[in-house]
Amino acid sequence: MPAVVNRAVIMACALTASHVLQVEALLDTIKWDSNGLVVAIAQHIDTGAILMQGFANRDAVATTMNSHLATFYSRSRANLWTKGETSSNFINVLDVFFDCDHDSIIYLGVPDGPTCHTGAETCYFTSAADILGSLQSGTKSALTTLYLLEDIIKQKKLEIEEQTTTSSNKASWTKTLLENRKLLCSKIRFMPLSMYTVGGTLA
Amino acid sequence: MPAVVNRAVIMACALTASHVLQVEALLDTIKWDSNGLVVAIAQHIDTGAILMQGFANRDAVATTMNSHLATFYSRSRANLWTKGETSSNFINVLDVFFDCDHDSIIYLGVPDGPTCHTGAETCYFTSAADILGSLQSGTKSALTTLYLLEDIIKQKKLEIEEQTTTSSNKASWTKTLLENRKLLCSKIRFMPLSMYTVGGTLA
């Protein structure tokens, strides 16, 4: 092996050793609870959706940082588990965030598929507002405003399309809005964001 | 008092009693841990930012549902506390979501001001990628893609403005993009979202 390769190998090893030391120093700053755990929240980097929440010990956080796959500690089974190891729906972690107290972390990443074992995108699909409003089990996701708005517009569009095929094509303000992107954007811009969520509030 | 008012009062009381029963039935479905707690995550309904994470007992969740203000249980002080009771930076809760196991909840709402006691918008402002990349303490928030992109564009705009005032006004592709909204939108649409986060990954 030529000397230049040896030097490159030594340099790579030194860099890796330095990275390992940095990760260890970072893990030293975490305030683990009496069971050696912190709360670990997996969040979708694009939609902002909270996908799931588990607990992580030092090994779980280190594994996540090295493999870039969200890894947790199962309190019931007393072992490490990587989300997706049975379903193949891994969560690819792009960054890990610590809170101000360093006792709670976010795995910010991109999921390969639905996170919940039920097949839902996120584990948080039961809305108290829905249940209290209708006495039926809520099934919507904890969508933030822009994604909720996207859902509402999609729903309105479907309703309009159904009306068009089943009844007379009568004039409708919603239809006019949906057919005129400029008008729709203007309407969206000038309505307070909270207006979109009124239907889903606990009030 | 006329009979019609009496009937209205009775009806209102019956509705309130019914609501209380519904809330109690909902609380009965929560799987509290051995200390009577669940993890409670406060999330900004507009930005999707995870603002803070605490723990909640039955009283804390009930108080949140009735007052619409995010309320937690302090394990160290062994008492209920409403976020904002000292800082006035309350979190106005619009909905509460339960995960599939009913042992973790989201308070989805609008904060009155910065949530963190440090004055930061959220408690999660320490990025492992920043620390591992620069050996310095990271100070960015756990922004999701669209908000990160907004931040990057804002930063680029500032840089261009500084260049314009301090040096010769030479041609720049970023400047052209920023001055032509149609071109900028086209660029944003055709770039994969993950491109924006490459600089912030752990890789």
For A151-180, what is the mean pLDDT?
Answer: 74
Domain ranges for chain A, please list them.
Answer: 1-30, 31-124, 143-200
Query: Distance from B191 to chain A by nearest Cα, in Å?
Result: 14
User: What residues form DSSP beta bridges with A108?
Assistant: A43, A95
Q: Which residue of B has its CA nearest to A48?
A: B48
- What pLDDT shows up at residue B200? 39
Task: Give the integer Cα–Cα distance in Å for B83 and B88.
Answer: 8
- What pLDDT shows up at residue A143? 66
- What pLDDT shows up at residue B137? 44
- What pLDDT shows up at residue B170? 60
Question: What are A120-158's pLDDT values in tens digits?
Answer: 999 999 999 888 874 344 456 666 667 777 777 877 888
- State whether A95 and B52 contact (CB < 8 Å): no
Which of A94, A101, A110 shows the shortest C-beta gap to B202? A94
Eight-state DSSP code of residue B108: E
- What pLDDT shows up at residue A16? 75
Chain B residues 121-150 within an 8 A CB cutoff of chain A: 123-129, 131-132, 135, 142, 144-146
- What's the ipTM? 0.76
- What pLDDT shows up at residue A140? 64
- State whether B123 and A135 contact (CB < 8 Å): no
Pick the CATH number of A31-124 from 3.40.50.2300, 3.10.20.810, 3.40.50.10860, 3.40.50.300: 3.10.20.810
Query: Distance from B45 to chain A by nearest Cα, in Å?
Result: 5
Query: Distance from B138 to chain A by nearest Cα, in Å?
Result: 9
Residues of B with Cβ-Cβ distance to A135 under 8 angstroms: 22
Question: What are A52-95's pLDDT values in tens digits?
Answer: 999 999 999 999 999 999 999 999 999 999 999 999 999 999 99
- What pLDDT shows up at residue B133? 77
Return contacts of B86-92, CB within 8 angstroms, 24+ apart: B87/B113, B87/B117, B88/B112, B88/B113, B89/B113, B89/B114, B89/B115, B91/B42, B91/B51, B91/B115, B92/B68
For B24-37, what is the mean pLDDT?
Answer: 95
Task: Give the integer Cα–Cα distance in Å for B90 and B88.
Answer: 6
For B145-169, what is the mean pLDDT?
Answer: 74
A62 at interface of B, judged by CB pairs closer than 8 A: no
- What pLDDT shows up at residue B136? 41
Band of residue B138 on the pLDDT scale cut at 50, 70, 90: very low
For B130-141, what is the mean pLDDT?
Answer: 61
